[in-house]
Structure 1
Amino acid sequence: MTPIHEDEHLLVLEKPSGLLSVPGRGPDKQDCLSKRVQDRFPEALIVHRLDQDTSGLLLMARGIEAQRRLSKLFETRQVKKRYVAVVAGLPEQTQSATSPDEGGWRTIDGPILLDWERRPLHIIHADGKASRSRWRTLETSTSASLIELEPVTGRTHQLRVHLQSIGHPMLGDSLYAPPDIKALSPRLLLHAQELAFVHPFTDLALDFKAPVSWSATSPYSTARS
């Protein structure tokens, strides 16, 4: 797997939908982005993950010290992450009582908890971990919306759970969308399109983008990613 950026401390890659970030359980789940990268860069280590069905930008460290410094950036929310998704319906109408900020962003707050009896599903629950996502509309049709998202926290399935919790699941989502919404796309329409941070060794500001040509109107997406 060829990085879109590499230096002596880190690698930036674009993960396709359907590929695990790290190995799963069982011999049939060993193929993953981290293994493919380590075949070429044996010192490469995972810093964060994307869901198997999510495509987009993913960062890996080259060595233990780089992993420590990059992980600290994520832990202290110094990494800007932006996603794009196509969701069912018009979330602006659902959240019309919530005023957007100057940039058009609205916020979803909802504590997220693993549903042990139905894992890997996660749910909004009072006993869950505090979670916050920001979103804004890019394009709408009568039945779907193309939106941009920023996860403020980093819970498992956070963006998918939050949009499902307000009644707007993502198209193609095999876990959180009802069958008719899942069937609208052959893949989950969620893509990590931007990563920005200050390089932890050089202090250089880095901003990586991997845009997709998705639409709020059927057929919704292109073949890319």
Structure 2
Amino acid sequence: MTKTNRFLKFTIGKDDKKKIRKFLVQHKFSSSQLHNLKNKGGLIFVNHKQRHFDYAMKTGDQMLVVLNTEEPSDLIAPMKGAIDVIFEDEYLLVVNKPPGIASLPAKARDGKTMANLVKNYLLEHNENSSIHLVTRLDRNTSGLMVFAKTSYAHSLLDQILHTEDFQKFYLAMVYGQVEPKSGLIDLPIGIDPMAFYMRNIDHQKGKPSRTIYETIETFKNASLLKLKLLTGRTHQIRVHLTAIGHPIIGDDMYSKKIDPRMKRQALHCFRLNIVHPVTKELLNLEAPLPPDMVLLKSVLRGESNG
């Protein structure tokens, strides 16, 4: 049998709801997941006997939920290609995305994206190949991306995405030396009225956006920053750093200049600290600085020493 079904095991505690339906709602099953569980081939066993939603359980009962098989969408075609897997279990897949590849297919573009590569990887490993993208990165940003393997795991991750249980850290190399050396950028971000694909600071219509930054190293005319996202707006780090006068090196869209030292924005998602939504284990995941940013750092150090 292919590994398309997912199994969830629970021991019923004294504070848990005892009716199966209420228990599942308590454990963050959405109404659509309950519908799929009931009508699309999911199964529920209590103490090895199959039960329905209205069954009343007792403290100490053992419950096994067999999630329904998901039908993958045809919109994302599997495409062969190497992916750098940082972490994987039956619920999550975390990959290190190289620069120059989009997260998801866009109507205007054909070609490989991380979603296409991950779908092929899941198929090759006889996994459910429905794509559940939890975090995305801009085409020219590198680093850690999270995929969920089921809609249930996806919804659990969505619920913690912008909390302390799901912390996202980036490294960026920016123009100039940032003062103060650490702080909070709290500026609302909206769609740029001059270009729909860009974002800007918009105090009238923008959405609240917060980024914590800390200077890791200073160079003659540049800084290496560590950033923590508290919200998840499109282009958030790029717009915030531009707004405080320190755009990212290589980010010609927002810095308005081509930099021969860097062919893309020097931005990398290097660490994720995630409380696993099912096992509750703390995952401390890291992706090393990619070669082009390592090279840029040595160039900046050389300029400082020169």
Which of the five TM-score ranges fits, normalised by the shorter chain? 0.7 to 0.9
Question: 2:268 is matched with which residue: 185, 191, 198?
Answer: 191
**Displacement of 1:133 after TM fit?**
0.5
Shift of the 190–52 alpha-carbon distance from structure 1 to 2, 3 Å rule, reads same
Give the structure 2 partner of residue 207 of structure 1.
284
User: What residue in structure 1 maps to residue 217 of structure 2?
Assistant: 139
Secondary structure of 1:145's counterpart equals strand
Corresponding position of 2:228: 150
Counterparts of 2:84 and 2:140 in 1: how far apart (Å)? 20
The aligned amino acid for 1:35 is: N
Amino acid of the residue matched to residue 173 of structure 1? D
Q: What is the aligned counterpart of 2:115 among 34, 37, 52?
A: 34
Amino acid across the alignment from 2:237: L
Please give the secondary structure, in 1, of the residue aligned with 2:252: coil
Aligned residue in 1 for 2:142? 55
The structure, 1 or 2, with the larger RCO (C-alpha pairs under 8 Å, 6+ apart) is 1
Deviation at residue 30 of structure 1 after TM alignment: 4.1
- Give the Cα–Cα distance (whole angstroms) in 1 for the partners of residues 210 and 217 of structure 2: 22
Counterpart of 1:20 (choices 102, 113, 124) is 102
Structure 1 partner of 2:9: none
How many residues are matched? 208
| RMSD over aligned Cα atoms | 1.8
User: In the alignment, what sits opposite 1:117?
Assistant: 194
Partner of 1:218: 299
Query: 3-state DSSP class of the match of 2:160?
Result: helix
Instruction: Give secondary structure in 2 for the equivalent of 1:67.
Output: helix
Task: Determine which structure has more spread, i.e. the larger CA radius of gyration.
Answer: 2
Q: Structure 2 unaligned segments of length 5 or more: list them.
A: 1-82, 123-128, 302-306
Q: Secondary structure at the match of 1:168?
A: coil
Q: Distance in 2 between matches of 1:176 and 1:77?
A: 29
Q: Secondary structure at the match of 1:170?
A: coil
Q: Distance in 2 between matches of 1:77 and 1:52?
A: 26
| Moved >3 Å (runs of 4+) | 213-217
Q: Runs of 5+ in structure 1 lacking a partner? A: 221-225
How many Å apart are 1:178 and its aligned residue? 2.4
Deviation of 1:125 after TM superposition, in Å, equals 1.1
Aligned to 1:6: 88
Please report the TM-score for the alignment, with normalisation by the length of structure 1. 0.86
How far apart in 2 are the matches of 1:178 and 1:61?
Answer: 36
Residue type of the alignment partner of 1:218: V
CA contact (8 A) 2:187 2:240 kept: yes
C-alpha distance in 2 between matches for 1:170 and 1:14: 21
Answer whether contact 1:141 1:217 (CA < 8 A) is retained.
Answer: no
Q: Shift in Å at residue 45 of structure 1?
A: 1.3
Is 1:79 the counterpart of 2:160? The answer is no
Q: Are 1:140 and 1:216, in contact at CA under 8 Å, matched by a contact in 2?
A: no
Query: Given that residues 222 and 300 in structure 2 are in contact (C-alpha distance below 8 angstroms), is that contact kept between their aligned partners in structure 1?
Result: no
Q: How many Å separate the matches in 1 of 2:261 and 2:87?
A: 33
Amino acid at match of 1:58: M
Amino acid corresponding to residue 175 of structure 1 in structure 2: M
2:220/2:300 contact within 8 Å kept: no
1:12 to 1:43, Cα distance in 2 relative to 1, 3 A: same
Measure the CA separation in 2 of the matches of 1:25 and 1:219. Answer: 38
The 2-side partners of 1:80 and 1:156 are apart by: 17
Q: Percent identity?
A: 37
- Partners of 1:78 and 1:205 in 2: how far apart? 9
Encode CA deviations 1:119-154: one digit per residue, 9 max, x unaligned.
211000112001111101111111110110011111
| 1:83-109: CA deviation from partner (whole Å, max 9, x where unpaired) | 0010000112xxx3xxx7xxxx41111
Task: Indicate conservation of the 8 Å contact 1:145/1:216, yes or no.
Answer: no
Change (3 A) 1:193 1:166: same
* Distance (whole Å) between structure 1 residues aligned to residue 162 and residue 246 of structure 2: 28
